[in-house]
């Protein structure tokens, strides 16, 4: 009987450690890219390097975990934005969240196109979670006349992803301006 208490506590602690590592990795990846040193991640998470590798044996496992959380948050935000803002504004705000998801993770594009089996599920996850979320925003905007485009979510996400790619000698604000121009072209004034 006394062994179940500590065992459960250890599992809870282990879950908390994994969550802390993912949160820290998100922050570190945003600053230094997906190849940032493991020590930087574990220091921020307040755990040892061994703890990180126990939960995420390969770097790709950690990248995939960070992206899964980010993808879920971005998809869930579509519903919240749809109820809190007008359809055109909700679409614009969601595009900003998507930009933050894609453009601020340096090295992510290369990681997503790698042959690493640990990263193979990210692409389908983007399609399965984000396209329906965006499609709901596009449909709502179309119903109210906020957009005049017949583009579907797949085309809009593809365009946004391309506009998120780093441009030599330019910072992320350049990409933000490009996305604003794209969205202005979709929205009815």
Between 166 and 76, name the one with better pLDDT.
Answer: 76
Chosen domain end from 37, 57, 77? 57
For residues 42 and 48, is the Cβ–Cβ distance under 8 A? yes
Whether 15 and 67 share a structural domain: no
3-state helix, strand, coil in the chain (%, to 5): 75, 0, 25
Chosen domain end from 57, 73, 89? 57
Whether 91 and 52 share a structural domain: no
Whether 89 and 18 share a structural domain: no
CATH number of the domain that residue 37 is part of: 1.10.10
Alpha carbon 34 to chain centroid, angstroms? 13
pLDDT band at 143 (very low <50, low <70, confident <90, very high): very high
Whether 5 and 94 share a structural domain: no
Whether 71 and 32 share a structural domain: no
Angle between helix axes 153-164 and 172-186 (nearest 10 degrees) is 150
Whether 75 and 133 share a structural domain: yes
- Which residues, in sequence order, are CB contacts of 186 under 8 Å at separation 6+? 91, 147, 148, 149, 151, 156
Whether 88 and 126 share a structural domain: yes
SS (H, E, C) 124-172: HHHHHHHHHHHHHHHHHHHHCCCECCCCCHHHHHHHHHHHHCCCCCCCH
Residue 187: what pLDDT? 92
SS3 63: helix
**What is the rounded distance in angstroms from the CA atom of residue 164 to the CA atom of residue 106?**
11
Whether 63 and 45 share a structural domain: no
Whether 102 and 69 share a structural domain: yes
Chosen domain end from 57, 77, 92? 57
Whether 9 and 102 share a structural domain: no
pLDDT in tens, 41-85: 999 999 999 999 999 999 989 988 998 898 899 999 999 999 999
What backbone torsions phi and psi does residue 77 show, to the nearest 5 degrees?
-65, -30
pLDDT in tens, 94-107: 999 998 888 766 66
Alpha carbon 64 to chain centroid, angstroms? 10
Number of domains comprising the chain: 2
Whether 66 and 43 share a structural domain: no
Q: For residue 7, what are the domain limits?
A: 1-57
pLDDT band at 127 (very low <50, low <70, confident <90, very high): confident
Residue with tokens 């946004």: 160
Mean pLDDT is lowest, of 3-7, 38-42, 129-133, 170-174, for 3-7
CATH number of the domain that residue 161 is part of: 1.10.357.10
What backbone torsions phi and psi does residue 69 show, to the nearest 5 degrees?
-65, -45
**What is the rounded distance in angstroms from the CA atom of residue 121 to the CA atom of residue 99?**
20
| pTM for the full predicted model | 0.79
**How many residues make up the chain in this entry?**
189
Residue 105: what pLDDT? 65
Whether 86 and 145 share a structural domain: yes
């Amino acid at each position: 009987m006394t062994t179940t208490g500590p065992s459960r506590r250890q599992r809870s602690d282990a879950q908390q450690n994994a969550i802390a590592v993912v949160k820290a990795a998100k922050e570190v990846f945003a600053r230094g890219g997906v190849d940032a040193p493991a020590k930087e991640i574990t220091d921020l998470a307040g755990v040892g390097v061994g703890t990180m590798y126990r939960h995420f044996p390969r770097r790709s496992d950690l990248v995939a975990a960070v992206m899964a959380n980010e993808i879920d948050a971005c998809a869930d935000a579509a519903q919240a934005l749809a109820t809190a803002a007008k359809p055109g504004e909700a679409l614009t705000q969601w595009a900003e969240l998507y930009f933050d998801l894609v453009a601020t993770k340096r090295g992510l594009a290369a990681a997503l196109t790698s042959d690493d089996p640990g990263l193979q599920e990210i692409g389908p996850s983007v399609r399965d979670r984000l396209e329906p979320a965006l499609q709901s925003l596009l449909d709502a905007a179309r119903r109210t006349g906020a957009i005049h485009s017949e583009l579907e979510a797949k085309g809009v996400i593809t365009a946004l992803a391309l506009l998120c790619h780093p441009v030599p000698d330019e910072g992320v604000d350049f990409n933000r301006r490009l996305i604003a121009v794209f969205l202005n072209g979709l929205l009815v004034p």
